[in-house]
Structure 1
Amino acid sequence: MEAYETLTEGINALRKQGYTEDFNLKHNCITCGKDDYEILHNEFQVDKSFPFDVNEDPSDQAVLYAISSEDHQRKGILVNSYGIYSDPIADEMLNKLK
């Protein structure tokens, strides 16, 4: 199983594996950073996830997701904080990212 020491190392490794899009998390979908293209929760899958807990500061806690969508022919990454700093999202999105 893959493991990375830093978030940057994880991002660079996933880029080399073809995860080239930068996804952003919205309430009920993810969007592609380049063109704000929307992908709904039932149109993508989480291929891999990597939690990062850099230190005891909650603001440094994040999860790196490798995401693909066969429907939209896109692969990319999503970085999201977790814990008290996580983004408010719909239940469908929350379940998908677990």
Structure 2
Amino acid sequence: MKSLVQCLKQLKEDGYNKNLSIKNELLYTSDKIFLPTPQLTIDQTYRIEEDSDPTHQSIVYAISCKAPDVKGVLVNSYGPYSESDKDNLINQISSAI
């Protein structure tokens, strides 16, 4: 996909309609639904490089949760600008597979 906006639009069309965020090392939807880490799966990952500026590099995770049944996206910067709380959560999800 060419841009972050295009990627998010496509994922929303594919049913990933929740914006996900991390608070106190736990994942929540934008409407404050808690998503337990053992129930999470990373379905797709997209690396977005919109130009040569490193601050414009992003990685988009399409994440699904079994219980509650939720699909959403988590966006992080890529490389040295990535947010450690997001990196840690992604590593926890990946190691649970």
TM-score normalised to the size of structure 1?
Answer: 0.81
SS of the aligned residue for 2:16 comes to: coil
Percent of aligned pairs sharing the same letter = 27
Q: Which runs of 4+ in 1 moved over 4 A?
A: none
- 1:85 to 2:81 alignment: yes
For residue 9 of structure 1, what is the amino acid of its counterpart?
A: Q
Give, as a single letter, the amino acid of the residue that structure 1 aligns with 2:65. Answer: S
**How many pairs were matched up?**
94
Matched, 1:60 2:53: no
Q: Distance in 2 between matches of 1:5 and 1:66?
A: 16
Alignment correspondent of 1:5 = 2
What SS is found at the alignment partner of 2:85?
coil
Structure 2: state its 5+ residue gaps: none
- Normalised by the length of structure 2, the TM-score is 0.82
Q: Does structure 2 retain, via aligned residues, the 8 Å contact 1:7–1:52?
A: yes
RMSD: 2.2
Structure 2 match to 1:42: 38
> Which range is displaced more, 15-24 or 80-89?
80-89
Structure 1 residue runs of 5 or longer lacking an equivalent are none
> Closer, same or farther in 2 for the Cα pair 1:19/1:91, shift >3 Å?
closer
1:91 to partner: Cα distance: 7.2
